[in-house]
Amino acid sequence: MTDRSLRPSDPAFVGGHRVLARLGEGGMGVVYLGRTETGALAAVKVIQAEYAHDEEFRARFRRETRAARRVDCPWVVKVTGADPEAEQPWLATAFEPGPSLADAVHRHGPLPVGAVRVLGRQLARALDAVHAVRLVHRDVKPGNILLAVDGPRLIDFGIARFADDTAITSADLVVGTPGFLSPEQAAGGGQLGPASDMFSLGCVLAYAATGRPPFGGGAVDALLYRTVHDRPDLDGVEEELAAVLLRCLAKVAADRPTAAELDAALVEDVPPATADWLPEDVVRLIAERSAEMMALPEIEATLADAPQPTAPSRRRFLALTSGGAVLAAGGGIAAWAALRSGSRRAKGPAAPGWALGVQADLSGPGKAAGQAQEQGARLAVEQFNALGERAFTLELRTADDGGSADRAVTAAQRLVADPDVLAVLGSSADATTQAALPVYDAALLPVISMSAGQNLLQNVRSFVRGRPLHNAVAMKLAFQLKATSSATPVGLLLDRSGGDVSWMSIQMINLVLRKYGDTTHPRVIPAGTTDLAPVLDDMRAHGIRAFVYAGPAEGAIRAARGLARFDGPKYAAEPALDARFAAEPTAEGWTVTASAIGIEAPSVHTFAQAFRTRYGHAPGLWAAEGYDAANLLIRELTAANGKRPARAALATSLKTARYQGITRAFAFDAETAGTPMLATPASFVHEVRGGAFRYLGPAPDKAPRPKGK
């Protein structure tokens, strides 16, 4: 079950609603499950204090709340109350216990074409009602659509605006969820109209039909670029439906259908207001989510040490259903799910073991980094088990994904199915981590990654990233260049073989260097290019005096060979931190900035000695990061005072963890795109010397002051 427990700082009452549990937390506030004196349940969103002190925000919130209360549509959650004048303004809507569209697709895959058509028609009617009161929702996404047996519900007016309002903040701020933004939102534009919501709805329906966003995933900057410039990916969508979606996904707002036009364009014969529109497994999920809500603590259990029932009793089941808890699934379905789940739990589990999992590429192209992390984590576990006084013995279970996204799903499923595994380090690559996260998130199995640096755009609740994003590391590379060289112009080579990581790195480096007054000469080569001579000749002909490469290690080797006689400073982005590149004779003197620390770092000295004793050789790059991640997870396990923690509780505590490791200080800031960010990002500088990487130290946090400043 999702951890919905209240925190000491949470209120007991909000506007006449008795607060029962946390439903979620976003950028503008916390959403609670509340019950009125009449027994009706509501989702109560309490706005953060920083907005509450803004009088302009209060005035706008007051207007938008009045408008939202006028929205009259069965497919939009009903606004049941609000107080814009409260110390912390709040808004209450009818509570829907069903899963979100994002949850349903993650668990059970794309919806059938008929279900997508029904979904589209009803959401079109929802948006038509929203637009009729001159509101623009601005965050239509799978996570804001709840599924019930009689149809979907559009939720969250948290960032809704009047159609003729200007942007909520500065023009360069993107508001909404990347992957489901309109081109005008992605470009950071000012005024947004109903057509923006229609583009987002097109993205949602494409996601429902295929299981993937139509403009892909990965780094935010790259995703926004594709939204503005690229054709949507509708492969696998039925031809007639694809034609309708292409109209919604038109780049020009005026070319998109209105909500009413989309409603008319989507024809489906499924009977309305029945469960027939959804696949059986999704109906079952709706029932289970309704039953989960019934397992919340009693209203009277307000003390911190109050017992938490594991399954609803018959008395509680009857009391809750009569109080209005079953709103979407229907009493019969929810009763079946509650009693069925209760009978399973009555048997009681066997005495569990304690284990950490490691998912990594242990046999594929990235096996050096994967094996290093596994060895570092194993050393941490063995050191813990060697302690004289400890509450439990820990095991390490591994799952090799071979660097393959398909194998990553299987590896994650194996660790999820192991009842002893309480948390996972992994995966060791961006693509495999992104593929595995839906599996871990569905089980609320906590995961920390130390080497995946892309912005993995998913509604993940159990994932933390123990390293900075790739663009943050690229920024440090630009700072290192400015701190060590005044050479300009700088040649920037983007190798498309490196995917979004390369694009993101070069964009950031180009931005920083231009800000500091340098001239740059950027060039792009298509994926798979093996002959770099023409582009390198072009760069030299334009008089470049320094060079930066962003792409895979194989491409970095080709660039080093092609620039063997170039005597200017040469730099490469993180993927070049590979022993194969360091062993290339022409790579001598190249500088690489990465998130992995060097084994020569003073803080790593004791670990490196212990590693040599255990394995008979020096630790590889990323081994110290694996050691840190395992020790952070061990620290969270020991905080349970000998009691086996639930996976969901551990996932929650991990997001607020504070730990001083040998590679960095671990502390996590507020969530961005669903993932807590490392508050103290660490990047390090390495130089190729004598066929190996020599550690130079932490990368600078800023560049020298620009000339004339």
Q: In the chain, what percentage of residues exceed pLDDT 70? A: 82
Query: How sure is the predictor about 171, in pLDDT bands with cuts at 50, 70 and 90?
Result: very low
Phi-psi region of 528 (alpha: psi -120 to 50; beta: other; left: phi over 0): left
Query: How sure is the predictor about 218, in pLDDT bands with cuts at 50, 70 and 90?
Result: confident
Name residue 581's amino acid.
Answer: F
Q: What is the DSSP letter of 100?
A: B
Whether the pLDDT of residue 358 is over 90: the answer is yes
Give the residue among 311, 309, 386 at the shortest CA–CA distance from 344. Answer: 311
Task: Give the residue extent of every domain in the chain.
Answer: 13-94, 101-277, 280-345, 355-467+602-670, 470-594+686-698
Give the residue among 379, 434, 362, 381 at the shortest CA–CA distance from 405. Answer: 434
* Candidate ranges 82-86, 171-175, 336-340, 705-709; pick with highest mean pLDDT: 82-86
- Average pLDDT of the chain, as a whole number: 83
Coil vs helix vs strand at 697:
strand
What is the Cα–Cα distance from 238 to 633, expressed in whole angstroms?
A: 45
Neighbouring-strand partners of residue 145: 154
Give the residue among 415, 399, 412, 397 at the shortest CA–CA distance from 363. Answer: 399
Give the residue among 161, 157, 158 at the shortest CA–CA distance from 78. Answer: 157
Residue spans of beta strands (DSSP E) within 71-224? 79-83, 90-94, 135-136, 145-148, 151-154, 161-162
Q: Comparing 355-467+602-670 with 470-594+686-698, is the CATH topology the same?
A: yes
Residue 212 near residue 490 (C-beta atoms within 8 A): no
What is the Cα–Cα distance from 251 to 302, expressed in whole angstroms?
A: 52
Which of 238-242, 365-369, 506-510, 544-548 shows the lowest mean pLDDT across its residues?
506-510
Average pLDDT over residues 224-253: 93
Q: Please state which CATH number belongs to domain 13-94.
A: 3.30.200.20
Residue 287 near residue 333 (C-beta atoms within 8 A): yes
Radius of gyration of the chain (CA): 27
* Paired sense of beta strands 161-162 and 135-136, if any: antiparallel
Which of 426-430, 445-449, 674-678 shows the lowest mean pLDDT across its residues?
674-678
Coil vs helix vs strand at 438:
helix
- Can the peptide bond before residue 698 be classed as cis, meaning omega within 30 degrees of 0? no
Average pLDDT over residues 617-622: 96
Name residue 584's amino acid.
Answer: E
* pLDDT value of residue 346: 33
Whether the pLDDT of residue 519 is over 90: the answer is yes
Whether the pLDDT of residue 277 is over 60: the answer is yes
- Of all residues in the chain, what percent are helix, strand and coil, respectively (each to 5)? 40, 20, 40
Going by CATH, does the domain composed of 101-277 fall within 1.10.510.10?
Answer: yes
What is the Cα–Cα distance from 21 to 296, expressed in whole angstroms?
A: 8
Q: Please state which CATH number belongs to domain 355-467+602-670.
A: 3.40.50.2300
Average pLDDT over residues 304-316: 34
How many residues comprise the chain? 709
Q: Work out the angle between the directed axes of helices 533-541 and 553-562 (0-180°, nearest 10).
A: 50
Q: Which fold has domain 470-594+686-698?
A: Rossmann fold (3.40.50)
Average pLDDT over residues 616-624: 96
* pLDDT value of residue 139: 87
In this structure, the number of other CB atoms found within 10 A of the CB of residue 208 comes to: 24
- The distance from CA 521 to its chain's CA centroid, rounded to whole angstroms, is 33
Give the residue among 645, 633, 647 at the shortest CA–CA distance from 425. Answer: 633
Whether the pLDDT of residue 706 is over 60: the answer is no
Does 2 or 17 have the greater pLDDT score?
17
* pLDDT value of residue 396: 96
* pLDDT value of residue 215: 93
Give the largest CA-CA distance in the chain. Answer: 82
What is the tens place of the pLDDT at every residue in 462-486? 898 899 889 889 999 999 999 999 9
What is the tens place of the pLDDT at every residue in 102-153? 999 998 999 999 999 999 999 999 999 999 988 888 889 998 999 988 889 9
Give the residue among 208, 203, 179, 202 at the shortest CA–CA distance from 248. Answer: 202
Sheet containing 79-83, strands listed edge to edge, beginning at the edge strand earlier in sequence: 13-14, 17-25, 29-35, 41-47, 90-94, 79-83
Residue 597 near residue 608 (C-beta atoms within 8 A): no
Does 99 or 188 have the greater pLDDT score?
99
Here the tokens at position 557 are 């080797």
What is the tens place of the pLDDT at every residue in 23-79? 877 657 788 999 887 778 898 988 876 666 777 778 878 887 888 888 889 999 988
Where helices occur in 295-421 by DSSP H, the ranges are 314-322, 331-345, 367-385, 405-417
Which of 230-234, 337-341, 640-644 shows the lowest mean pLDDT across its residues?
337-341
- Catalogue the active-site residues: 139
Which of 344-348, 453-457, 498-502, 585-589 shows the lowest mean pLDDT across its residues?
344-348
Give the residue among 381, 309, 383 at the shortest CA–CA distance from 346. Answer: 309
Residue with tokens 């229907």: 330
Here the tokens at position 603 are 């803080």
Q: In the chain, what percentage of residues exceed pLDDT 90? A: 52
Residue with tokens 């034609």: 243
Residue 532 near residue 558 (C-beta atoms within 8 A): yes
